[in-house]
Each structure stands twice: as C-alpha cells, then as structure tokens.
Amino acid sequence: MAKQFDTVVKGGTIYTATDTYVADIGIKGEKITAIGMNLQAAGADVINARDLQVIPGGIDPHVHLQLPFCGTVSSDDFYTGTRAAACGGVTTVLDFAGQGTHDNLMAGIEARMKEARDKVVIDYSLHTMVTGFKKLKNPLKEFQRLMEFGVASHKMFMIYEREGWNATDDDIFGAMLAAQEVGATLCMHAESEKVMNYLVGMALKKNLGAYGHVVSRPNFIEEEAIQRAIKWASATGAHLYVVHMSTGGGAQLFKEAQAKGINVHVETCPQYLVLNDEVFKDKKTGHYYATCPQIKKKEDCERMWKGLQDGEVAVVSTDTCTFTTKQKAMWNGDFTRIPFGMPGVETLLPSVYSFGVRGGKFSLNHFVSLIATNPAKIMGMYPQKGTIMVGSDADLSIIDPDESRIIDYKKLASNCDWSPFQGWKLYGFPKFTLSRGTVLVRNGKFDEKAGRKGRGRFVKRGPFGWRNLSRPWYVPDHKPQVPAELFGEGAKSDNSGRKRAAVGV
C-alpha cells in the first residue's frame, strides 16, 4: 500500500480553541493533510497519542533573543531561545527588529533576519521597533512596504528615553494614522516615563535596594499610559495591541474600551500572573525579577486572570529577555541599572497550563485560544498557525496531562543559570513538539538532529487576522474621531506635512 502520510498522530484527544474530539492527524510534508478516524499509517512515523492532549504549537508573540539592552545582550540567542521554545511546546516566536540609526524600518528587519536565519530551530516572525518615528520620511509608505513583506506590526515605547527608544505622543499619533491605513497593528509598551522618572528620583534617595524598582512604578504609571494609548487608538481607528500588561487597572481599561467597540487588544505574561512584588524583598535574589514593567501585587494577578477568563485579555506571551545572574549583578546596588527581563518562553505553556487549566480557571480549549489561536489571529498568521486544521502547518504540542516536572534551571534548555520558577511543580510540558511536521521533541527529549540550527523559517504575516476573532465585541465598529477635513491626498500620515505644521507654514 502506498504511503499516505509521513507522520500520523494516532488516537490523541485534539483540542482547538473551539472543539474537543478524538481523531488521528495525518501529516504529509509540512502540513496537516487529514484529520479522521483510523487513518492509514503504513510507512509513516506513528506517534501514539492515546490518552494524550494534542494542541496547536504555542505561539509566543513577544520574545527578545540576543537583544542589546541595558548595557548587555540578552543571553538566549536565536538558537538557545528557539530550542528552549520547542522544549516548552512553542513552535513560533515573534521577536523585534530595532530601527537603530536608520531612516527606515526595513533595514532593521533585514539585519535581524540575518542574525536569526542560521540559528532558528522553530518558525519566527518580527515586529519592528519604531524608535525614531520622526526620521521616517513617509511612514505610510514604510508600513505599506513592510506589510507587503509580511511584517504587520510595529512596537513603540512610551518609555526608555535612556535607550533612545521612547516615542512622544505625536509620534504615536502619527504612527497610528499610518498603521490604520494599511491595517497594521501598533504594539505599545505603555508606561508613563516622565512621572516614573520623577518617582525614580525620589526612590533613589531612599536606599530601598531592588524594591526601589517597585515603588518607582506604581500602577498608575502603566494605567495612565494605557489610557492615553487607547485614546489615540480611539481617535485614529488604529489597531492597538498593548504588550506585557501588568496591572489589574489596565485590564479594566481594556474591558471598557472593548465594550465601546474600540479596536484594542492586550497581552499579559506569566510573571504578571503567578509572581508578585514580594519577590523583590529578598536581598540576595530580588533584583533577578526586575522586568519592565515590574511585577505587581496579588490583586493585579487576580484581576488579570479574570481578564483572561472573560476575554478582555486575549493573549499570554512571555516578553522573554533572558539575563544570567552575572548580567543581573551589573546593577551593583542601583535598581535603575538592573538589566530588565527574565527567561520565559520554555515555561509559557507549563505555567499557564498548571495555574490556568489545572487551577480550574479555564478549559483547555480556552488555554489554546490564549497561547496559540488568538496570537495567530491578532498577528495575522491564522490559520497557517494557531490551530489544528487540514491545510495548517503541522505545528503541534502533545501533552501528557498526568506528567509534571519540578523546575530546575539546570535541566531547562534556556541559556540561564536561574529560573523564576525554580523548585515549582509544573504540568503541561510537551511529550512531543512538532514544527511543520518535524518532530523536535520526542518522549520529552529534544532531538538535536531534527532540530538543527537554521531549520526555522520566517513567517510572512498579513493585516487581516484580527478581524477574524470570534468574540463579537472585538469587531471594530468604533468610528475614528480625527476631523474629516484633515483627510485627503497625503494628509494623514506624511511626516513632511507634520514638519510644515511644526514651523507654522
């Protein structure tokens, strides 16, 4: 009998965001080509998935691999970071391409792709980092060109003046006008820098150690910035996606904005769900936990779990930005100098699975929506990624629901000598991870040969994904508020017009 499939996943329970059923999955080449009962497995690599949970491979839309930041470079590079991702059941990551000193964004994308190309083990895509909006000659053309290339999202920062990354309100407004014209997404790091710096100045006088990081960033620092970003999204009609949200108040703002039909989405990360700011009080290790924004209070964790349950928080990403204890030691007692970030991509699925699904907060289907389907839709990769469907890439994570691990950083694949979850018992690690049909993790072990460096591919994304979200309140029915008189040929998002206005012409 002729071989029909290269791989057959036999008898597992398939969980998508909407369905649960027992079936075989037939894979030919890189794609799922059949789903059904008793698929013909002659000559195929058969994965016995009986009593196992078969879910789409995780999508982490927010990682920073080998990022030059805070005077050092994040320690997981495109190889160790994507290998760690596969070990944790993640099959696609989205990283960021800095603008640097360029007057365009494409140069950064090309440079970042060069860094990633020979190292990535799983598929990846890139957001730009718009750190010099005023330098862009024609943002609309720039976003259009990037959209055609498959880059559908751009990150802006309301902080990081020291890094030269921060965007002012007029930058954000101009970028949103251009983004909404081409259907691009504006990703936003929302923290209120000026007020935060004022508080940092006050905290520096108090000798609080790493806890100074906490008191200089009270919740209103994030909430005010989120409110402002939502306001500009509402005015321009742009699709806003706030990254790494850490506050309960932020979740409330999203609930209210979405109820009005404003086109906004938000992600949070495991560190904001399962850790709280007590971690900073440990004199020896407190500074390891410094991220930006920082970890907040228990009440914030609870409100964000509720947001995930109810839907206003649509995605759990990680903001992986790994720094070793040696790199963290660079702070030398000054909380403003701690390299901000932590490892995470490898423990994304296990942490959300353990506390969300096993913790009784939501179903495994809902879990799938948070870690695969929603990020795929929002970031314009659906249904190539983010679901189990005939025609989709054969990206799968297969979990034994009864199997747990005690986290020990020495046994994790991440290039890091600590873990925020050290000693914790976590469920939800993959027994098998498949990336475009290739079995990268088999019986819990990474296959070095199959998972060769550079096998991962750049995923071209499109503008349409977010329109497909199934919840009715995500359908953008909100009318932008920029006066119609200002619209017309070249008037919306051409920086030259802005310059003229600035000099009063």
**DSSP three-state, residue 233:** helix
Task: Determine the distance from the C-alpha atom of residue 57 to the mean position of all C-alpha atoms in its chain, rounded to a whole number.
Answer: 14
- Position among 39, 44, 59, 64 found at the interface with ligand URP (CB under 6 A): 64
- Position among 86, 172, 177, 292 found at the interface with ligand URP (CB under 6 A): 292
Give me the residue whose beta carbon is nearest to ligand URP: 340
Rounded to an integer, what distance in angstroms lies between the CA atom of residue 400 and that of residue 89?
12
Q: Cβ distance 324 to 416 under 8 Å?
A: yes
Residue 494: how many other CB atoms lie within 10 Å: 19
Give whichever of 341 and 375 is closer to ligand URP, judged by the CB atom: 341
- Position among 291, 384, 392, 414 found at the interface with ligand URP (CB under 6 A): 291
Residue 469 CA: distances (Å) to CA of 73, 265, 419: 36, 11, 34
Phi, psi of 308 (to 5 degrees): -70, -40
Could you tell me which stretch among 68-76, 124-132, 184-192, 211-219 binds Zn ion (CB under 5 A)?
184-192
Q: How far is the CB of 241 from Zn ion (least distance, A)?
A: 12
Give me the residue whose beta carbon is nearest to Zn ion: 189
Residue 300 CA: distances (Å) to CA of 275, 290, 490: 10, 17, 43
Give whichever of 199 and 450 is closer to ligand URP, judged by the CB atom: 199
Q: Cβ distance 8 to 18 under 8 Å?
A: no
Partner whose footprint covers residue 341, from ligand URP, Zn ion, none (CB < 5 to 8 Å by kind):
ligand URP
Residue 399 exposed, middle or buried by CB count within 10 Å (0-12, 13-18, 19+) = buried
Rounded to an integer, what distance in angstroms lies between the CA atom of residue 253 and that of residue 245?
11
Q: How far is the CB of 354 from ligand URP (least distance, A)?
A: 23
First to last CA, the chain: 78
Residue 56: how many other CB atoms lie within 10 Å: 30
Give yes or no for residue 189 binding Zn ion (CB under 5 A): yes
Site residues (CB under 6 A) for ligand URP, limited to 327-346? 340-341
- The site string for ligand URP over 96-135 (x = CB under 6 A, - otherwise) reads ----------------------------------------
Give whichever of 23 and 63 is closer to ligand URP, judged by the CB atom: 63
| Encoded tokens for 500 | 């003229």
Give whichever of 82 and 291 is closer to ligand URP, judged by the CB atom: 291
- The site string for Zn ion over 266-305 (x = CB under 5 A, - otherwise) reads ----------------------------------------
Whose tokens are 């228990």? That residue is 298
Q: How far is the CB of 304 from ligand URP (least distance, A)?
A: 16
Partner whose footprint covers residue 291, from Zn ion, ligand URP, none (CB < 5 to 8 Å by kind):
ligand URP
Q: Are strands 438-442 and 430-435 parallel, antiparallel or unpaired?
A: antiparallel
Q: How far is the CB of 306 from ligand URP (least distance, A)?
A: 23
Give yes or no for residue 239 binding ligand URP (CB under 6 A): no
Rounded to an integer, what distance in angstroms lies between the CA atom of residue 438 and that of residue 459?
17
Interface with ligand URP (CB under 6 A), residue total 9
Q: What residues have CB less than 8 Å from 180, skipping those under 6 apart?
A: 236, 237, 238, 239, 480
Q: How far is the CB of 339 from ligand URP (least distance, A)?
A: 8
Q: Most distant CA pair in the chain: distance in Å?
A: 78
Going by C-alpha positions, the residue among 115, 127, 123 that lies closest to residue 78 is 115
Helices assigned H by DSSP within 216-358: 219-236, 248-259, 271-274, 298-310, 325-328, 348-352
Give whichever of 189 and 217 is closer to Zn ion, judged by the CB atom: 189
- The site string for ligand URP over 154-193 (x = CB under 6 A, - otherwise) reads -----------------------------------x----
Partner whose footprint covers residue 66, from ligand URP, Zn ion, none (CB < 5 to 8 Å by kind):
none
Give yes or no for residue 273 binding ligand URP (CB under 6 A): no
Q: How far is the CB of 26 from ligand URP (least distance, A)?
A: 39
Q: Cβ distance 23 to 14 under 8 Å?
A: yes
Q: Cβ distance 456 to 82 under 8 Å?
A: yes
Phi, psi of 424 (to 5 degrees): -80, 145
Rounded to an integer, what distance in angstroms lies between the CA atom of residue 164 and that of residue 192?
15
Could you tell me which stretch among 131-139, 181-189, 207-215, 262-270 binds Zn ion (CB under 5 A)?
181-189
Give yes or no for residue 321 binding ligand URP (CB under 6 A): yes
Task: Determine the distance from the C-alpha atom of residue 238 to the mean position of all C-alpha atoms in its chain, rounded to a whole number.
Answer: 19
- Position among 76, 222, 277, 319 found at the interface with ligand URP (CB under 6 A): 319
Q: How far is the CB of 471 from ligand URP (least distance, A)?
A: 27
Cis, peptide link before residue 383, omega less than 30° from 0: yes
Q: How far is the CB of 189 from ligand URP (least distance, A)?
A: 5
Partner whose footprint covers residue 340, from Zn ion, ligand URP, none (CB < 5 to 8 Å by kind):
ligand URP
Give yes or no for residue 319 binding Zn ion (CB under 5 A): yes
Q: How far is the CB of 139 from Zn ion (least distance, A)?
A: 21
Residues engaged in binding ligand URP (CB under 6 A): 64, 189, 244, 291-292, 319, 321, 340-341
Residues engaged in binding Zn ion (CB under 5 A): 189, 319
